[in-house]
Chains A and B, each alone.
Chain A
Amino acid sequence: AQKITQTQPGMFVQEKEAVTLDCTYDTSDPSYGLFWYKQPSSGEMIFLIYQGSYDQQNATEGRYSLNFQKARKSANLVISASQLGDSAMYFCAMKSFQKLVFGTGTRLLVSP
């Protein structure tokens, strides 16, 4: 069965600091994709970053990077230099066997 686990219901970080949001996954599909989405209070789902299971290097997109540790089945999101606008829910998701499965999310609050 496919499963995504996000163990941090909430995280706090000060502006300009880095923060890591944890995500572990489980699938028997050897070829899978890992995604992070941001959901601000307005409700829309915004795609942030993608990591493929065969990718050798960790993905980066601006201030977002994905710390991919395949042996540990983890795909943590690192946000560098946090900004107030980063306050939102963050969802880790995995696409395998043509289905996208989400974790329960982590609420990030960035304080001034």
Chain B
Amino acid sequence: EAQVTQNPRYLITVTGKKLTVTCSQNMNHEYMSWYRQDPGLGLRQIYYSMNVEVTDKGDVPEGYKVSRKEKRNFPLILESPSPNQTSLYFCASSLTGQNNSPLHFGNGTRLTVT
């Protein structure tokens, strides 16, 4: 089944403890992206990647890192999480970065930082 898989679905951690949220897609998509969703703010892009070894900042990149060493994987790294990073995170991918290519989303990761 074609899908975007994120893990974990739920994560509770403490301030400053490094964590990684994994994202993998099996559709051979070139474009991958991370979003955070907060009430009243919709979804905001954190980072995106047009292809392997190519990553760019989105609208809210501070406090996050990403890497794209392989086409299928695009992990999101929080080196030193803070409570304001408590949010619902989505990974998404599309066939290309072209404007007519819809994004397919993972099921989300709900992160709580205490």
**B13: interface (CB < 8 Å):** no
CA distance in complex: A31, B105 (Å):
23
Chain A residues within 8 Å of B68, by CB:
none
> Are the CB atoms of B100 and A52 closer together than 8 Å?
yes
> Are the CB atoms of B108 and A33 closer together than 8 Å?
no
B105 CB contact (under 8 Å) in A32, A45, A96:
A45
> Are the CB atoms of A96 and B103 closer together than 8 Å?
no
- Nearest residue (CB) in B for A48 is B102
Name the prevailing secondary structure of the B interface residues.
strand
> Are the CB atoms of B42 and A44 closer together than 8 Å?
no
| Binary flags per residue of A2-35, CB closer than 8 Å to B gives 1, else 0 | 0010000000000000000000000001011101
**Those of A32-70 within 8 Å (CB) of chain B:** 32-33, 35, 37, 43-47, 50, 52-53
Number of interchain pairs (Cβ within 8 Å): 63
Count residues on chain A whose CB falls below 8 Å from chain B CBs: 27
Q: A45-B90, A50-B100 are in contact. Are A99 and B107 (CB under 8 A)?
A: no
Q: A99-B58, A104-B41 are in contact. Are A31 and B99 (CB under 8 A)?
A: yes
> Are the CB atoms of B88 and A101 closer together than 8 Å?
no
Q: Which of B14-22, B43-51, B69-77, B78-86 contacts A (4 or more CB under 8 A)?
A: B43-51
Chain A residues at the B interface, C-beta cutoff of 8 Å: 4, 29, 31-33, 35, 37, 43-47, 50, 52-53, 91, 93, 95-96, 98-105
